[in-house]
Amino acid sequence: MSVSPTMPTGTASVDHSEVALPRPVALVARAMSVAAGVLLIALIMLTVADVVSRNLRDHSIVGAVDMSTMLLVAAAFLGLASAELDGKHVTVDLFEARFAPRARWALSLLRAVILLALGVLLTWGLSEVLLSALERGETTNDVLRLPTWPAKAVLVVSFLAYFVVAVWKELRAHSELTADLADEQSGDHR
Amino acid sequence: MTATTAAVLVLVLLLFFGLLAIRLHVGLSLMSAAFVGVLLLRGTGAATSTVASMPFSTSASYSLTIIPLFILMGVFAVRAGLAQAGFDLASAALKRLPGGPALASLAGSGMFAAVTGSSVATVATMARVSTDAIVKAGYGIKLAAGVVCAGGTLGVLIPPSIVLVLYGVVTEESIGQLLLAGVGPGLLTIAVYAATIVALVSRQRRRQARRHGDGSTPPVDGGPRTSPQPGSQSRREENRAIGGAGSGSGTAVLSPSSEGQGTAAAAPATRLDLVGFLYLVVIFAVSIGTIYLGVATPTEAASFGALAAMVILLLRTRPPAWMRAVGESLSEAVGLTAMTFLLMTGAGVFTYFLALTGASTELVGWVLGADLPPYLALVLCLLLLLPLGMFLDGISMILIAAPLLHPILVGYGFDGIWLGVLIVKVAEMALVTPPVGMNAFVYSGAVREAGLGRVFRGIVPFILADVVVVALLIAFPDITTWLPAVSSTQ
């Protein structure tokens, strides 16, 4: 459960809504979550094997620390998209519930724009970081000299997928608010 | 700091709170505000590369592997029904005590919070079910609100505490020692909260008894006990909670008949998944015991804990459901991990921006230069945390505030481990303190009939209890430091 503490009015909601995403996007998000789970299991096994090896054979697995670190980088953000998709955020809303529908409509649009801008920024920036790691043949500092680009490639994909889901969700919410607004206006005319 | 830098700093802070106000994720709010700040001070190129390099530099650290491992351990344990087993056992064992359902809810919230590491999430999850149980037993909703909101704050001290791990990461204090240091204060908090509940309930009973006159049975579950056994049990509990001052008399009232009562009460408890509770003890022993004995680093201990929890989950699930149980646990743990790292990435960019403005060093230098009496500096720093509870949950507060408060207070001569426990404890207090504590808002959102005013009134006794705990922790540093001191961990 992710907690995204925002501002309070005494109202809080746990948003359990599954957002209807285009099927391929949802599938990709789920697949990334499963991949992250597999990486975490590998992380557990590697650390346990390392301790066992140290006690039985009296020496550690070569490069276990390096491998663990790269596993962590790859697994850390892979679950972002599916966590956003499940949307189990506890949001506490101080102002918005009291706002007029039009103001809420505008805020939702603003959020969508900010999320889109951040998504573009990070996807572009992380790709640059990935390309530079590839060009320089960047590796870890330990004995194994593991290349860092695979983990960095996973970061690009993780953040891209996260922002696709987040922007999509916000746009859906926005279009619902637009519909509400239209309803209200037609109600006024009647 | 030049006037321009100061203006940029103010702008970034306003932007951060503005973004939080429009309900952007706190990690993204930190990241965006700090991005604008770096952009204004150093240009687009520097700002982009700062933000883009942060996810890798935040997560590429071996000591952080402990975070997903602890999360996995907790999720597996909850999925295996171990927290439920503990909660049921607590309910059965405490049923006959005054305020039994409230004590059980306290235990339940504490366990859930220990597992999830977030008291806000705990309150959101536990509010409805705990309140129903407490109100059904005849107690007021104010008591329920206090118990749930305060119970959520227990988890940060009881291992495995992700908040303490993060404090260790940002201040470079020993994570193993921090985890052990949380144990004493965690137990103390439980004892003081339990004593608070018992005191509140006894007062309510006395009032009701007066209203109903002597002899009539008040409609409260387990009203004033006239039978000797449960009475002696409750007195025993009070003695224990208050600190064993009267433990001699407590043992004296333990008659053979009350022991008989004890075994009778234990019988349903066996059916109540005693094995599940024992598993919980095993996981705790594997993860914290090995750190204590110094045979494993915290990361290794967390791996063994996570593996043990997974094996227990498999043992307690029928083989056809294995894939589903493990898969769903993994998916939840992966999501929690990702959101925690997103928060850390945002906090990383923000901390970099603060360092760039020189605000952090100037603040530290200024407070140290003021040469305050050390304990005054300590109390002022801790008080600064309270308003943050309006905007931020415990983890975010620690990520932002600890890098500033730690150097100041270590400079005043305080121990970094002891400080960590105090800072984390007070950061959690900030989540329940009126008028802005976030837990209270979350609670009144989940339990609509409660109303914010009543929630805060219900919390007040627990805040007083917290003040007592913090005062004890400051007055007797041994409560915090004895366990790390006697252990073999570094």
Q: In tens digits, what is the pLDDT along chain B, a chain of 490 residues?
A: 788 889 999 999 999 988 988 888 888 999 999 999 999 999 999 999 999 999 999 999 888 999 999 889 888 888 888 877 877 787 788 777 778 888 888 888 877 777 666 677 778 777 887 888 888 888 888 888 999 888 888 878 887 888 899 999 999 999 999 999 998 999 999 999 999 998 988 888 888 788 776 544 444 443 333 333 333 344 333 333 333 333 333 323 223 333 333 333 334 444 577 888 888 888 888 888 888 888 888 888 889 999 999 999 999 888 888 888 899 889 988 988 898 899 899 999 998 998 898 888 888 888 888 888 999 999 999 988 888 877 777 888 899 899 999 999 999 999 999 999 999 999 988 888 876 677 888 888 778 787 788 888 889 999 999 999 999 999 999 999 988 888 877 6
Nearest of A78, A67, A48, A61 to residue B310 by alpha carbon: A48
The mean pLDDT value for A146-172 works out to: 93
Tell if the CB–CB gap between B441 and A9 is shorter than 8 Å: yes
* pLDDT (0 to 100) of residue B436: 66
Distance from CA of B36 to the nearest CA of A (A): 11
Name the amino acid, one letter, at B448: R
Nearest of B34, B9, B41 to residue B361 by alpha carbon: B9
Nearest of B55, B67, B113, B117 to residue B86 by alpha carbon: B113
Q: Which of B22, B124, B332 is closest, CB to CB, to A110?
A: B22
Give the span between the Cα atoms of A90 and B203, in whole angstroms: 35
Judged by a CB distance cut-off of 8 A, whether residue A92 touches chain B is yes
pLDDT band at A161 (very low <50, low <70, confident <90, very high): very high
Q: Which of A34, A79, A118 is closest, CB to CB, to B337?
A: A79
Tell if the CB–CB gap between A12 and B446 is shorter than 8 Å: yes
Distance from CA of A189 to the nearest CA of B (A): 31
Mean pLDDT rounded to a whole number for chain A: 82
The mean pLDDT value for A73-86 works out to: 90
Q: Which of B121, B341, B452 is closest, CB to CB, to A1?
A: B121
Q: In the 8-state DSSP scheme, what is residue B160?
A: S
**How do residues A111-134 score in pLDDT, each as one tens digit?**
999 999 999 999 999 999 999 999
Q: Which DSSP string do the residues of B399-443 spell out, in sequence order?
A: HHHHHHHHHHHHHTT--HHHHHHHHHHHHHHHTT-TTT-HHHHHH
Give the span between the Cα atoms of B16 and B171, in whole angstroms: 23
Tell if the CB–CB gap between A51 and B444 is shorter than 8 Å: no
Contact partners, residue B21, CB within 8 Å, separation at least 6: A6, A7, A94, A95
Q: Which of B49, B69, B335 is closest, CB to CB, to A83?
A: B335
Q: Which residue of A has its CA nearest to B59?
A: A73
Residues B441/B142, Cβ–Cβ less than 8 Å = no
Q: Which residue of A has its CA nearest to B448?
A: A11
Tell if the CB–CB gap between A76 and B68 is shorter than 8 Å: yes
Name the amino acid, one letter, at B456: F
How many residues make up chain A in this entry?
190
Among the ranges A61-65, A74-78, B254-258, B484-488, which has the highest mean pLDDT value?
Answer: A74-78
Tell if the CB–CB gap between B307 and A4 is shorter than 8 Å: no
| Rounded (5°) CA angle B137-B154-B461 | 60
Q: Which DSSP string do the residues of B347-410 spell out, in sequence order?
A: HHHHHHHHHHHTHHHHHHHHHHHTT--HHHHHHHHHHHHGGGGGT--HHHHHHHHHHHHHHHHH
Q: Which residue of B has its CA nearest to A65?
A: B62
Residues 39-78 of A with CB under 8 A from B: 40-41, 43-45, 47-48, 50-51, 65, 68-73, 75-78
* pLDDT (0 to 100) of residue B226: 37
Judged by a CB distance cut-off of 8 A, whether residue A88 touches chain B is yes
* pLDDT (0 to 100) of residue B435: 67
* pLDDT (0 to 100) of residue B222: 38
Measure Cα distances from B62 to A67, A71, A137, B68 in Å. 9, 10, 21, 12
* pLDDT (0 to 100) of residue B74: 85
Q: Which of B304, B342, B445 is closest, CB to CB, to A10?
A: B445
Q: What is the ipTM of this complex?
A: 0.87
Tell if the CB–CB gap between A7 and B56 is shorter than 8 Å: no
User: Which residues of chain B lie closer than 8 angstroms to A110, CB-CB?
Assistant: 22
Tell if the CB–CB gap between B24 and A114 is shorter than 8 Å: yes
Q: Hey, what's the torsion of the CAs at B295, B274, B148, B192, to 10 degrees?
A: -60
Q: Hey, what's the torsion of the CAs at B462, B467, B468, B472, to 10 degrees?
A: 140
Q: Regarding predicted confidence, which is higher, A89 or B396?
A: B396
* pLDDT (0 to 100) of residue A118: 95
Among the ranges A7-16, A41-50, A51-60, which has the highest mean pLDDT value?
Answer: A41-50
Judged by a CB distance cut-off of 8 A, whether residue A90 touches chain B is yes
User: Alpha helices, DSSP H only, in B60-118?
Assistant: 66-79, 82-94, 100-116
User: Which residues of chain A lie closer than 8 angstroms to B446, CB-CB?
Assistant: 12, 14
Q: Is the pLDDT of residue A7 over 50?
A: no
User: Which residues of chain B lie closer than 8 angstroms to A148, CB-CB?
Assistant: 56, 60
User: Which residues of chain B lie closer than 8 angstroms to A33, CB-CB?
Assistant: 330-331, 334-335
Q: Which of B22, B307, B393 is closest, CB to CB, to A44?
A: B307
Q: Which of A13, A77, A122 is closest, CB to CB, to B52?
A: A122
Tally of CA atoms within 13 A in the half-sphere of B277 that contains its CB: 17
Tell if the CB–CB gap between B335 and A33 is shorter than 8 Å: yes
CB–CB contacts below 8 A, A to B: 230
User: Which residues of chain A lie closer than 8 angstroms to B31, CB-CB?
Assistant: 118
Q: Which residue of B has its CA nearest to A37?
A: B330
**How do residues A32-52 score in pLDDT, each as one tens digit?**
999 999 999 999 999 999 988
| Residue B209: Cβ within 10 Å count | 17
